[in-house]
Structure 1
Amino acid sequence: MKRTFSVFGMQSLHNIFSTSAMQTYSIFFGGVGCMVLVSLLFSCSSIPLTWRETLRGEESALPSRDSMVFIIHGDGDYLYHDTSGHAHRADEEVLGGVTRVAEQNPQAEVFIFHQRARRHTFFFPRRDGKFYYYRHGRLLAEESYWRDQGPSRFNPEVELYHRFHEQKQPQLARLFFYFGHQIPEFDGVGYDASYPDRTFIVHELADGLNRIARDSKFDLIVLSTCFGGTPHTIAALAPYTRTIVASPDNLHLSYFAIQPFERLDVGLRNGDVAGLAKTFAHQAFDRLAENIQTTVTVAVYDVERVQGYLHSIGSVYDHSLTTLKGETPASIEHCDCAEDSAYVLPGMSEGVDVLYRPPRFGRSKNKQNHSGWECWKLPN
């Protein structure tokens, strides 16, 4: 009886401890699981932006001399392969270059918005925007955000900009950069892979610029996209800037090299933004001409001086857009506006500095110049 009782007692004691341990582990792992789940739900919830600020240092008391805003679109087909067959993500490479610009500017504030493809964790959607704020070369804030919140496309970016922007500080230069695919002039459905029904056209970019700039203007806008130098696009952005750098032709994800903006305290010491824009355009052109075989066209637009030409051909271009809205994308082509007599008017070259190299092959290899304006070739 004593042995039986002893064994029974040991078994009972073992069962008690086992049951207790299992309950403890169940409670522990259940609690951890709940914490993870709550954490995921919290991190993916649409909470106010002001609750998600993460500061990475103390702000300097010194005001910033210059301000730069970068928007990098990455929610699309930005994968390409180099000559060695290695895969690259164009938007990620741009982010690396932009980060270097931010770190190398000791007298600037820099806003970086990376619009990424939507991803999921355990079936829960993750925020698809990433924001970085630099001041005087230091990362002060890094924050994830939802890209589809608010009444307009750039509502989250506008809110973040005004939350961090140094208010009432006079700045020598205000620069804006957009990296992405060609910005549509009409339709615009499918620009974002994660939002196939969402539209994006150039007037929405103009609206975002207006809300960021408010009562002032940017000194320079850089459009690192394909077919950015159209009369419609330049006219839409003109109210919000003094100078625009864009490519009227195809860039093939090559983008513009932005090294000239790494030390604005040196390169922009005299405040000549237009001169810096031309220097940048030349360096971007040289890099593109060295690395790609297709057409290379980079243009610098003096917004004030091109107004006369834009007004003179505005109705003609608008008629083209109206006509094209009923056409299938495969039937639409671009062309140099100089190839259409309706656009060849006095003042066409006024205010436009064009850098051009024809393609190494194809039907345009003997074309020797470009007007700096890109138009639509209407179907016959």
Structure 2
Amino acid sequence: MKVIISGGGIAGLSAAGVLAQRGHDVRVFERREGPSTLGAGIVSFPNATRVLRSFGLEEEVRGVAGTPRTMRRMSDRGERLGDLPLSVINERLGAPSYSILRADLHEILTRFAEQSGATVEYSRRVTGVAEGGAVLLSDGRRLEADWVLGADGRMSSPLRKFVLGDNQARYGGFVSWIGVARSAEHVFDPHTVLDVWGCGERFGIVPISSRLAYFAGAAAMPRAAAHRSSIGPMLAERFSAWPQPVQETIRCADADSLREIYVHDHDPIDLWHRQRVLLIGDAAHAPLPTSGQGACQALEDAWHLGRLLDDGVPQAPSELFPRFTAVRREKANAIIGAGRGFAAMLFNPDPAFVSERNRRSRQTNFAEAAQGMAKLWAGALG
């Protein structure tokens, strides 16, 4: 079977490796000049770790990743709001959580795809699908394929437009500033994610080791109000009164790693396929980063494609694509909703709301909350 994948991100590379391992002719076309590092880092929560383990990649990931066990919530004034025991989720799902720089994960997944037999071409963009099913490329080529996977993200996916007729992403109402922090000193607790909540603002620090972390500061604002340059000084000023770990992280930030992101997601959809085209990853189900599951769900997409083939589901798009959508849609769409709900709570700028939110956080049974998260994240993994 010939497979063309539009997009060389986490979803595209994972699917490429899975399908190539099963003997299919897989070609990935990525519009960027090289592997993407957008996003600084991710947490592979245990549902995603189980997928990476099934791919034979867990050992590689472990070699460059951190192992978060707790997510500590604090207010912007330094008040402790509670500890979410990631260890409970890990135990429930039977795998650890790993924190990893996105560049490192992309390197691992690229190697997985290519060593499995897939080819990855950069600076090549799928621009659409012609009448009759030929795939159109930015260099003028027209290629035939049995499957065409749209893994080209949330913002400008020609294949999402082909399937749905439009590709309108929804602005989430907040801007995120991401980066990587490196220090010669041991400044990070290697097993504790720090999540600091303000009034319409948030700052998260995810350690890889005691000297390396990635981070995301965020604030509710109209899109036109976002900053375009001098991100480092702006962060230092905006978060100058926040707890010491936040200020230390900003001081250690690698200036070249800093990015400003207008955060978008998509409304949940029921239709993920049309003719030979199937949407996966963010092209199908882009959540806000507050879900914690964007990359994890991209990995799950690839795993489920492989499992359906292994279970003997016919390869014809009319057979397999509806089965895939039925397996994945409910969980992926629930995660979109969860991300939106959490963002609405985090970025509400009303002081009275924030005071009540923080009070409720202090009273939360976090072990019970962890069990609820584990139940959602474990869904459909078998």
Q: By the TM > 0.5 criterion, same fold? A: no
With the length of structure 1 as denominator, give the TM-score of the two structures.
0.31
Q: Which has the higher contact order (CA 8 A, sep 6+)?
A: 2
Higher strand share: 2
With the length of structure 2 as denominator, give the TM-score of the two structures.
0.31
